[in-house]
């Protein structure tokens, strides 16, 4: 079976392990990505870290950074050349990239699936509403990254089969616990991701300011709120305990996690956004790091029994969770072990790849009149 996966997310080298695992299962796979992708966190250049067993091509992108309007002007030519059986458009159904990708895939004679993270029911104006309807009609299979996204698809009229499946898992051999992980006196707290209002970093800083005992905080990432957050750290008197780092290349993220005792994802729901998954959680859990997350969106379902949850926006509750870990370092370690076990049971890259290939198989069988 020949498949093409079109994905701006696969500019991230760590995510490319999924493509290797798909190819390892016998799929003749080509991945098409832009040469870079820009968003509110900055620009991510396409990496080439995990490229065994499949072909990774970068192709031109128009309207880079615009989620709704970006698209690939050479995609039709690429698909005509590759003649895949299945095209996987790793993008929301209402985006121009998906609608144009569907048109190109149909003209190449391929079966098509798309991916959806959108977990808020929103009515889009034309032409995006028209794109969405056309994509629904063309795709008998959809992949939803979280429970709410699957519900949104159904409520908006999608009648095809929906597979509930995260976009990516983790490689537990790469994201593994530190060799020497005996807890020290100082609780090493971390965050990685966008420095954006919805990520709730102001809550984390204020919670840390109330902790009693030795702790340090590392914040890795970039975004529009960085200056304001640095000001809050100074305002609440913890500036000297916070280390600010730029966005870390994906291949170096295991080392970042391995130097932490706990990772916090304090996301807050906004009118137009709630946490869709929280990939840093499973990366940290795989490294044996205790995790604490808010109850925004999908976070409680990701963490399950492998970490701690607090009500979003509640600084006192977050402080209480962290103080408990600071006071009982054995509990911190046990929580890290539980998180690692949860990743091995549910979130490995091999598991995600196998379920993705199962979707491809259904599409291919249906396209050939076997389903």
> How far apart, in whole angstroms, are the C-alpha atoms of residue 220 and residue 250?
12
For residues 195 and 141, membership in a common domain is answered with: no
**Same domain for 28 and 153?**
yes
pLDDT tens for 6-56 read 999 999 999 999 999 999 999 999 999 999 999 888 899 999 999 999 999
**Exposed e or buried b per residue across 235-251, where buried means at least 16 C-beta atoms within 10 angstroms of its C-beta:** eeebeebbebeebeebe
Domain count, the chain: 2
pLDDT at residue 368, as a whole number: 78
Do 25 and 146 fall within a single domain?
yes
Residue-number span of the structural domain to which 296 is assigned: 187-346
Query: Rounded to whole angstroms, what are the CA distances from 155 to 119, 121, 159, 175, 297?
Result: 11, 8, 10, 37, 18
DSSP bridge partners of 57: 32
Does residue 178 lie within any of the structural domains? no
pLDDT tens, residue order, the chain (371 aa): 999 999 999 999 999 999 999 999 999 999 999 999 998 888 999 999 999 999 999 999 999 999 999 999 999 999 999 999 999 999 999 999 999 999 999 999 999 999 999 999 999 999 999 999 999 999 999 999 999 999 999 999 999 999 999 999 999 999 999 987 566 779 999 999 999 999 999 999 999 999 999 999 999 999 999 999 999 999 999 999 999 999 999 889 999 999 999 999 999 999 999 999 999 999 999 999 999 999 999 999 999 999 999 999 999 999 999 999 999 999 999 999 999 999 999 999 999 999 999 999 999 998 876 44
| 358 inside domain | yes
Domain shared by 6 and 71, yes or no: yes
Q: Tell me if 193 sits within 8 A of 176, measured CB to CB.
A: no
Same domain, 217 and 330: yes
Instruction: Look up the CATH number of the domain holding residue 59.
Output: 3.40.50.2000
Q: Both 286 and 359 in a single domain?
A: no
């Amino acid at each position: 079976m020949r498949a093409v996966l079109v994905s701006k997310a696969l500019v991230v080298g760590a995510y490319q392990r999924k493509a290797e695992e798909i190819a390892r299962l016998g799929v003749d796979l080509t991945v098409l990505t832009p040469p870079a992708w820009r968003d509110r966190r900055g620009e991510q250049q396409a990496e080439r870290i995990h490229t065994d067993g499949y072909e990774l091509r970068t192709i031109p992108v128009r309207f880079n950074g615009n989620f709704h309007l970006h698209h690939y002007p050479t995609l039709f030519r690429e698909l005509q050349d590759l003649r895949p059986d299945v095209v996987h458009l790793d993008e929301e159904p209402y985006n121009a990239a998906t609608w144009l990708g569907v048109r190109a895939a149909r003209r190449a004679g391929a079966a098509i699936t798309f991916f959806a993270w959108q977990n808020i029911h929103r009515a889009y104006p034309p032409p995006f509403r028209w794109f969405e309807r056309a994509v629904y009609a063309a795709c008998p299979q959809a992949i939803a990254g979280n429970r709410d996204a699957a519900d949104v698809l159904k409520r908006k009229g999608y009648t095809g089969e929906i597979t509930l499946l995260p976009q990516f898992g983790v490689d537990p051999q790469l994201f593994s616990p530190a060799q020497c992980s005996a807890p020290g006196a100082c609780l090493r707290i971390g965050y990685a991701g966008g420095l954006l209002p919805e990520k709730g970093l102001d809550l984390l800083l204020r919670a840390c300011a109330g902790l009693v005992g030795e702790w340090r905080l590392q914040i890795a990432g970039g975004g529009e709120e960085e200056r304001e957050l640095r000001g809050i750290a100074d305002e609440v008197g913890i500036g000297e305990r916070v280390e600010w780092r730029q966005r870390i290349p994906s291949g170096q993220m295991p080392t970042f996690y391995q130097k932490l005792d706990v990772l916090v994802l304090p996301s807050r729901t906004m009118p137009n956004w709630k946490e869709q998954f929280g990939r840093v959680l499973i990366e940290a859990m795989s490294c044996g790091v205790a995790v604490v997350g808010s109850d925004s969106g999908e976070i409680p379902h990701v963490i399950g029994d492998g970490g701690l949850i607090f009500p979003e926006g509640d600084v006192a509750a977050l402080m209480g969770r962290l103080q408990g870990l600071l006071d009982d370092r054995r509990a911190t370690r046990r929580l890290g072990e539980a998180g690692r076990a949860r990743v091995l049971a549910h979130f490995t890259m091999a598991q995600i790849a196998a379920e993705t290939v199962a979707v491809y198989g259904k599409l291919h069988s249906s396209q050939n009149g076997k389903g």
